[in-house]
Structure 1
């Protein structure tokens, strides 16, 4: 019994020693000194951390990325964009309806009624022009206007008229809506000559245009792919829609579009198609199938 009492007394004495006025083995003065030490210590650490963050923020801009050397310009996207880049359907509405709905949702922003506000949008014309310079990124000009792009320019692939409201899917002549991905302050440069462009793509080369060309991916598929037609302000992307100034300065920006219509894909055949854009500062990477190009499989069943 006495041993237990001594043990209990030792444990209680460690918690609070009334004779020495110690709590957990330290006096109030000792605890105060430790508290002040750690306040100063962690205060210094917090100050160093905040200082380094502030120094880093001083090197960053709200409008322009400080480093763009690892950005691979530019990506090429298409709509509809199904999983695994495969479009497969039969000539039944329930089969192709998801693709049609996807395109309609994307093109909603290109409706004329959404581009009426003259404080947000400019008419940049239907003729091909050079870049639209809206001042430097770091300036006090504020939010910049965006060029209007009327979806009616996509003609047979606009989805406006009754005859093309299904974007050609119903008649087995599907459309793809193609765009270049946005990169802040990027100015795509048209090819300076036709030397680096395949001969079939030469007709698409025009001044002030980044040309696009679609063809069969595999040589053996050539006989299964019929004529291809391009709709927009040309068979490519007009320069007057560049550069893009970023989300803060260009919140209403609309990318120029190109509609690609495939007129005669053999029914029941898995057609693999590749589309590429051509320019002096547009590159390709075999590891990234959407850098400057894309390939897609289209199968139209009876």
Structure 2
């Protein structure tokens, strides 16, 4: 029992020694020196960290990403999209394509004419392919840059203006295609038609990035039928480039191309590949959306 009291007294004395005025074995002066040391030590660490971040920020541009190696330019995407890259529809059953129509309408909302009426932000660049629009240096302090207007009417029957079902109800489905935005990227048309397939050579023309869709598998040859392309020049016109970034070009609209499969074989699932062609457009086996995309399309009837 006395030993227990001694231990208990020793613990209490270590916590606070009234004779030496020590708390946890240290005097007030000792604790003050420790707190001062760590205050200076961690203050220096914080200063080094903040200084490093500030120096790093000085190397970054407000207008252009320092590194753009996440995706090699340019990506090609389409609407509507599905998780499995499949568009299998039954024209007489709107439930099989209702979500596709909704997605296309939502995507095209930003292309409504009334949203492009501010002449401080938009300009009419015409309905024919033209040269690049030079709106000043990328990192100049010119502020908001104008963007070219793009009317949905350029997309013909795939615009959703007259046919609210984008051809799905008639078994003539449409795809809306765009090149992904890349700051200060200027796509270059093919210098010649030697680098593109024979069936797409006629599409080479000045000031347009051509696009062409075909069956990906040889066994589907002849099943795809006629493919129509709607847009300015049937491709991506150069006057919509370059894109100056989100800060000065937040209202920017990419040019679109509508692709319609007007007589695709019924009751057959066809893997379709669409590619754009240009001098600085590349493809990768590791990325199915780099300069191209493929999608399985099937127009079915209830009798199957």
TM over 0.5: yes
Q: Distance in 1 between matches of 2:86 and 2:70?
A: 29
Matched position secondary structure for 2:67 = coil
Q: Distance in 1 between matches of 2:70 and 2:253?
A: 24
Structure 2: 5+ residue runs without aligned partners?
none
Structure 1: 5+ residue runs without aligned partners?
none
Matches for 1:109-120 after TM superposition, within 5 Å? 109-120=110-121
Q: Distance in 2 between matches of 1:5 and 1:98?
A: 79
CA offset at residue 68 of structure 1? 2.9
TM-score under structure 2 normalisation?
0.97
Matches for 1:154-165 after TM superposition, within 5 Å? 154-161=155-162, 164-165=163-164
Runs of 4+ in 1 over 2 A off after TM superposition: 67-71
Matched position secondary structure for 1:223 = coil
Asked if residue 51 in structure 1 is aligned to residue 12 in structure 2, the reply is no
Contact 2:128–2:233, Cα closer than 8 Å, also in 1: no
Match of 2:284 in 1: 285
Match of 2:151 in 1: 150
Cα deviation, 1:139-185, whole Å, max 9, x if unaligned, reads 12101111100001101111101xx2111111111000000000000
Match of 1:257 in 2: 256
Matches for 1:199-214 after TM superposition, within 5 Å? 199-214=198-213
CA offset at residue 138 of structure 1? 1.2
Matched position secondary structure for 1:230 = strand
Q: Distance in 2 between matches of 1:170 and 1:71?
A: 36
Cα deviation, 1:216-236, whole Å, max 9, x if unaligned, reads 001110121110000010121
Match of 1:216 in 2: 215
Answer with 91-100 or 20-29: which moved more.
Answer: 91-100
Length, aligned pairs only: 300
CA-based RMSD of the aligned residues comes to: 0.9
Q: Distance in 2 between matches of 1:214 and 1:43?
A: 61
Match of 1:93 in 2: 94
